[in-house]
Amino acid sequence: MCGRFTIDASEKEILDEYDLQGPIHDFQPRYNVAPGQPVLAVIHDGQKKRAGFLKWGLVPSWANDPKIGYKMINARSESAHQKPSFKRLLARKRCLIIADSFYEWQKTEEGKQPKRISLENRKLFTFAGLWDKWDQDDEAMYTCTILTREANDFMQPIHHREPVILPKDKEDDWIEPIVHDPQDMHQFVMSLPDQPLHAYDVSTIVNSAKNESEACIKPLIS
């Protein structure tokens, strides 16, 4: 799964990297993004790409209780095209979720060791995401989920799942404003190549979502 990530970048870096028009309202670097919190995402409205915040934890438009979002922070890419919660979103509501690293916890004899994982060849990257609008009793909520897949060879010793990270040249293809068959998008995700990853140990302060500072990403000195 993917349960925490970071976005240690300036607004200008993000605007330049994704060819966006600013400003990004209320943006600030984040060092311990957790489920239930706003995440920076990019969609295509049919005319241009737009950046904004979505709540992490998908609440489908048909849901009776928005609390379902806490159970839907991730969607398994292997079966999303078959699930009612995700199938129609794969067809028409795909988004980029911007990050510069994510955390995972590796089991050791001493307990679970948190690691910060980033890409070797670029600073900013995006997770493949799905989003939806929940609207009930005049209350609107925009939420999202991150697609995951089986871990690659690098991630296997750390965790058996990993987020789907889009290659740079596939990001625009993912959010293009065209309705696709969910099966086609399933094949798109399954065909994505592994991205080269790098990891290092960080402090257990990241275990608590209340901790939100640069100390979260500081390499742990043994």
Which entry of 2, 95, 144, 216 is annotated as an active-site residue? Answer: 2
Could you give the CA distance from residue 113 to residue 105 in angstroms, rounded to a whole number? Answer: 5
Q: How far is CA 92 from CA 5, 6, 192, 205, in A?
A: 25, 27, 19, 38
2 is catalytic: yes
Name which of 14, 178, 200 is nearest 101 in CA terms: 200
SS3 206: helix
Helix then strand then coil, % of the chain, to nearest 5: 25, 40, 40
| H/E stretch holding 163 | strand 161-163
Torsion of CA 156, 209, 17, 172, to 10 degrees: 60
Respond yes or no: is residue 216 known to be catalytic: no
- Are the C-beta atoms of 4 and 39 separated by less than 8 Å? no
Q: Among residues 104, 162, 171, 212, which one is catalytic?
A: 104
- Rounded to an integer, what distance in angstroms lies between the CA atom of residue 172 and that of residue 61? 25
Task: Provide the annotated active-site residues.
Answer: 2, 104
